[in-house]
Structure formats: C-alpha cells, structure tokens
Chain A
Amino acid sequence: MTKSILLALSLVSAPLLLVAAEPAAPSAAEAVSWQDLHAGNEVANLSSLQRGARDFTNYCLGCHSMKYLRWSRMCTDLSIPSAECAANLIPADAKPADYMLTNLRGEDAVAWFGKEPPDLSLIARSRSVDYLYRLFKTFYVDPSRPTRTNNLALDGLAMPAVLSALEGVKVAVYRNVDDVVDGKPTVRKVFDHFTSVAPGQLNAEQYDAFVRDTVNFLDYAGEPAQVDRRNMGVWVVLFLLVFTAIAWLMKKEYWKEVH
C-alpha cells in the first residue's frame, strides 16, 4: 500500500522535477576528476531543502529511515505548511510528530540486498556531503554484481542504482596505464570517463541539481540547528570583540601606574 503510494508520488513529481529543477552552474564535470567533485550545497537555501525533502521522501524513504528527525520538525524548519506537509510528504500511516521511519523491514532488506540500509540521519556528518554527492554521480553498469551496478565512490556497495530512471544509465570506460609491480612492467586499468548508454528523465544539469538538493537535505538533517548556529555565532563573536576591547581599555588604564 505504502509502496504504491510512493510509486504514485514519484510518478507525479518526476515531471514536476523537470519544471522545478534549477539550472546548475556550467558543468565542467567531465573535465574534473570524480574524486574532486564538490557538493556545493547551501543549507540556508530553503527551496533547495524543500526539494531535497521531497526527493528524499520519494526516492530514499522506501528503504532508508531518518530516525532522529520528526516530520513536523522538518516541515517547520523548511517552512512547509503543516497541511501540505501532511498531504504530500508524511506517509499515510505516520503522524506529524513521528520520526521519519522507513517501512522496509530489516529482515527483508537483508534477504533482498544482503544488508540493512543504514539510517541516514547522520550520514552527512559521518561521511561528508562531498562523498554523498560523488556517490550519486558515479553509479555505472557492472554485470558481475547482483545489483548489476557498481559505484566509484563506494566500490561494491549493496545499494542498487535507484536514481537511474532520472540520471540515465552509464558505463565506465577505462584506459591503460603503464606501471611497475615488483620490478616488472605491467599495464593497469584506470577509470577514464563515463559514457551514457541510456538517457534518464533528467538531463545532466537537472540531475546535478537533483543530487545537490538531496545532498543538501541530508546535510540539513545531519544537524538541523546549523543555520541558527552560524547566525547566532555572528552576534556572539561581535559581542565578545566589543567586550574584549572595553576590557582591554580598562586594563591599560589600571596599568598606567605600573612602572
């Protein structure tokens, strides 16, 4: 029941993505090595977070939980009105105050994928947003694996390429590199670039924006208070600078008589 709701939601929102996706910065992704890709997300960007929340609910909640984040808290932080939150995001069997939990049972996950999908509440803090960005950008076809795909950022990962409908399907192309092993010259295969073999619903720019929004949401979810933290910090540091300045003047005044 939940699965078909999610399927319906994703089918409905996919065309919306095409309309709503922001144009990404001119992509030099082909020229930049995949290890150097940066997420470039802004946690203060509410509309990006809202899209990310929608993306997470549609594409991730089917398997992954966010067990430390409440629906109501998330919608409040992201300025999503509670009626819309309840209508579009919160699953039918959940209350607004509930934590964002997946309906996928652990035993089923182990049987189907070999391991339980980890909770994602803190994934942006334990792995970094850049790593997550790279993860979503480096899936490729690999017939030798049970999921038929592999990933450059996490070799041998158990997660299937769930976003391939959006991104398209790509293969990894390798080049030969001369190397010396144990004193003998050998030839190694090194990743060179990706080649798309099937298009997705989104073009490269749109997919890039999609990934950025989703990763942005994961960043927020890792530490919801971070925007408040930085805003508060500005005032605290300014206050302390003023205090130190006044205290320093006082010190100078008292020490005038020390010779």
Chain B
Amino acid sequence: MASNDAAAQVKNGTGFRAWLNQRLPVDKFVSEQLLEYYAPKNFNIWYFFGSLALLVLVMQLVSGIFLTMFYKVGDTTAFDSVEFIMREVHFGWLIRYLHAIGASAFFVVVYLHMYRAMMYGSYKAPRELLWLFGMFIYLALMAEAFMGYVLPWGNMSYWAATVIINLFSTIPVIGPGLVEWIRGDYGVADATLNRFFSLHVVAIPLVLLLLVALHLVALRQVGSNNPDGIEIKENKGSDGKPVDGIPFHPYYTVKDIVGVGFFLTLFAVVVFFVPTFGNLFLEEANFEPANPLSTPDPIAPSWYFTPYYAILRAVPNQRVGALLLLIAVLAFFFLPWLDRSPVKSIRYRGWWFKLFLAEFTVSFLALMYLGLKPATGGYVIAARVFSIGYFAFFGGMYWYSKWDRVKPVPQRVRFHD
C-alpha cells in the first residue's frame, strides 16, 4: 500500500502538482514534447523561422485584440477610428505599428521558413502532410493579410479590395455573380468591410490556430528534417535515442530565445524608426480615406503579394493572367510529388537543382520588385522573362530532379562544435 502511494507520488509529484497531473497530463506533455523530443543537432540559421513565425502569430493576436477594442468598423467610421488610435489612445500608435509591421514581418519569416524547406527537401516523404498544412497556413495568411489591409479603409485599402475581388470575375460562368456575392454590394462597400472584419478578427485566426496546431502535431509525428537531409531516427544509439539528435529542451528552447532576441531587435528598429519602411509597410496612399472616384497612381498590392501580381500582369489576357496567378500559388502544393530526387538536401544534390533553385530565387525576388512597378515597357518584358523562370522551377522539376547526379549522403550529420 505504502509503496504504491510512494510510487504514485514519485510519478505525479506532490501537492498541487500531483492534483493537477491527475487531472491534466501537464508533466507528461512537457516531458514528451520537450524533453523526450529529439531534434537534429545540426540546425542552422534557417531553422529559427518556425519558432519566429509562432512568435509573430502571438504578437499579431495580442496587438490585434487590442486594436479591436478601439477600432470602429464601418465605411464612415473606420478611417477616423484608426486615427483615433494613432493620436488619442495612449500608446495606440505603438499597438497599430506593431500590428501593421507585424504583418509584413510575418511574411518575411514565413517566406524564409518555406525557403528552408525547399533547400533541404523538408517537404519530401514522410513530411508531405506537414508541408501541405504549411501551405494551407500560407493561404490562410494571405487571406488574413488581404482582409486586414482593407480594414483601415484608406484609399489603397479600397482599391486593393476592388482589384483583387475583381479577379474572381474571371472564373467562367459564376465569376460575376460570385464577385457581387463576395462584396455584398454593387461595389466594394460597407457590407464588404464589415464581413472582412469578422473574417479577419474571428474566423481566419481560428482557422490559423487550428492549422498551426495540426502543423506542429504533424511535425512531432515525423520529427524535424535537417540541413543534411538525414533521417536521424534511422540511426539510434544504445539508449534508443537518435545519435544525431538532442532533446528539444533545453537546447533548442535556449537557442530559439536567442533567435527571438535578434528578431525583436530588428523588428523594434523598424517599428520605432522606420515604420513605413520606404512606403512598403504602410503606403502613402492609405493615409487618404477611401475614394471610389480616385484610384491611387501608382497602384500595387503589399510587397508580399507583388510576385504573384507581377505574374498576373505579365499576360495581356485577364483570364489567363488570373489562372497563372492561381497556378503560381498552387504549384508549391505539388513539390513533394514533383521532386523525385533520392536525396533531400541541396548539399547532396547535383547542378540541375542548384541551378533551378537559384534561378527561382532570382525570379521570385525580381517579380516581387516588378510587381511594385507600373506595368509598362521594359518592366512587362522583364516580368514575362521572370515568370517563365518562376514556372520553370516547378514545371521542370519532375525531370531534372531525376537527372541530377547526386552525391552520397553521409551517415552522420555535419556538425561543428
């Protein structure tokens, strides 16, 4: 009897902790997810961006919740209420900047996070589902950012909403009706703003939280990839632990904190010293209220959408352009099956992949730049060239991933003390 109690006590701890753990598996969770979860020891700088994405998500939720306390949705009140926040709510300006710059920071982090997966083959089996959840998060994030941008009801908000919603009119048969249904009015109006507010504040954050949870569970299930693309679980020591693995806690909790520090420092520099960031994070045109009779000139979406915008404008046909935009985004979903390389990491791949990834990177960045420029003259020609470059990465992958002469993948990861 006594020894049973003692054993139970050892298992559950004493006092409150015991009471809690009998009812909620707190210690078990911490133990299994942090102490007994072994991650590869050779993570490099590219592996910070997952935890940073989580940090930015939390920051956006907190700043967003507080903005919603003061923001007044409605076509006659929204713009004024944002200025109320900026001028008359104590520290309102700071909360607003945190949220607006946080949105851009989210995309910087997420793009780098995705790029890591492309370099090291983190989307390949058995991580296809992990990648797909990530892609759905990316889609939800784009929707969230788009709708959030409409809420201040500035002139760019209004026209971005008008142009992007009009894209849906290219869908055959149902297009025009669908556009009116999305808007809830003959043009982008109060009805549109109100429903975007609800989706942005409630619906999509819930979807995002669910997707992030699924993303993390999927990660935990298969374990993390690493820069060498080696499956560490295939090489276990006598203690049953991967020889190239280290417990997530304390090593990666401690390392991620440093990453957070660096990131927050850079983030603070932007928020406090250059919040508009050269017209990229807060556009000049949006400091004017929405005006259905005056389109901003020049007009461009936020920088994180401009690569796709450039692709859309590269083609002189509206329907084809919209279709290409859709394919450009969806192409990422197929990577796990387009990539037939026997190795995961770029470190052991041949020249084909390196060349294509390099040209994709250049194309993506070039398209991002071109999307911010007017669609005239040389810019259009360049956009066409780089669009081809963009699609070539995906389109050719089914073949060049097989052609590549790969290097032998070592047994142990490359790690320097």
Contact = CB atoms under 8 A, between A and B. Distances in A.
* A–B contact (CB under 8 angstroms): yes
Interface string B263-292: 011001101110110000000110110000
Contacts of A69: 87
A237 B97 CA distance: 16
Given A229-B94, A251-B255, A254-B254, A240 B268 contact: yes
Contact of A125 (B88, B93, B273, B284): B284
B87 A237 contact: no
B246 interface: yes
Given A122-B288, A126-B284, A237-B268, A224 B261 contact: no
Interface stretch (A31-39, A186-194, A211-219, A241-249): A241-249
Q: Is the interface of A mostly helix, strand, loop or mixed?
A: helix
Q: Which has the most chain B C-beta neighbours within 10 Å: A126, A223, A230?
A: A126
B29 interface: no
Contacts of B94: 229, 232
B329 interface: no
Contacts of B41: 258
A138 interface: no
A121 B417 contact: no
Nearest to B257: A247
A1 interface: no
Given A69-B87, A243-B261, A229 B284 contact: no
A237 B251 contact: no
B246 A258 contact: yes
A250 interface: yes
Contact of B87 (A68, A127, A128, A244): A68
Contacts of A229: 93-94, 97, 272, 275
Contacts of A251: 254-255, 257-258
Contacts of B285: 126
A255 interface: yes
B87 A254 contact: no
Given A247-B254, A255-B254, 6 more contacts: A122-B83, A243-B261, A247-B257, A251-B257, A254-B251, A258-B415
Contacts, number: 85
A248 B259 CA distance: 9
B86 A225 contact: yes
A236 interface: yes
B284 A247 contact: no
Given A233-B272, A254-B250, A258-B251, A127 B93 contact: no
Contacts of B284: 125-128
A237 B287 contact: no
A150 B272 CA distance: 39
A233 B261 contact: no
Given A224-B87, A232-B272, A244 B251 contact: no
12 contacts: A69-B87, A125-B284, A126-B288, A222-B287, A236-B268, A237-B268, A251-B254, A254-B254, A255-B255, A258-B415, A259-B415, A259-B417
A230 B269 CA distance: 9
Contacts of A254: 250-251, 254
B262 interface: yes
Contacts of B251: 254-255, 258
Contacts of B83: 68, 121-122
A244 B265 contact: yes
B87 A233 contact: no
What does DSSP make chain B's interface, helix, strand, loop or mixed?
A: helix
B86 A233 contact: no
Contact of B269 (A126, A128, A233, A248): A233
Contact of B264 (A73, A128, A240, A248): A240
Contacts of A126: 284-285, 287-288
Interface residues of A, number: 32
B35 to A, nearest CB: 14
A123 to B, nearest CB: 8
Nearest to B273: A233
Given A225-B93, A233-B273, A259-B417, A244 B261 contact: yes
A237 B269 contact: yes
A45 B275 CA distance: 21
Contacts of A125: 276, 284, 287
Given A225-B93, A255-B251, A244 B258 contact: yes
Given A126-B287, A128-B284, A223 B93 contact: yes
A244 B262 contact: yes
A241 B86 CA distance: 27
Contacts of B250: 254
A122 B272 contact: no
Given A68-B87, A224-B87, A237 B93 contact: no
B47 to A, nearest CB: 14
User: Closest 4 A-B residue pairs measured CB to CB?
Assistant: A233-B272, A244-B261, A126-B287, A125-B287
A240 B273 CA distance: 15
Interface in B70-102: 80, 83-84, 86-88, 93-94, 97
A15 B97 CA distance: 42
A244 B265 CA distance: 8
B289 to A, nearest CB: 9
Nearest to B417: A259
B93 A240 contact: no
A121 B94 CA distance: 19
A233 B288 contact: no
A121 B88 CA distance: 14
Contacts of B261: 240, 243-244, 247-248
A35 B332 CA distance: 45
B87 A247 contact: no
A250 B262 CA distance: 14
A127 B281 CA distance: 16
A69 B84 CA distance: 10
A248 B254 CA distance: 8
Interface string A162-199: 00000000000000000000000000000000000000
A156 to B, nearest CB: 15
B254 A240 contact: no
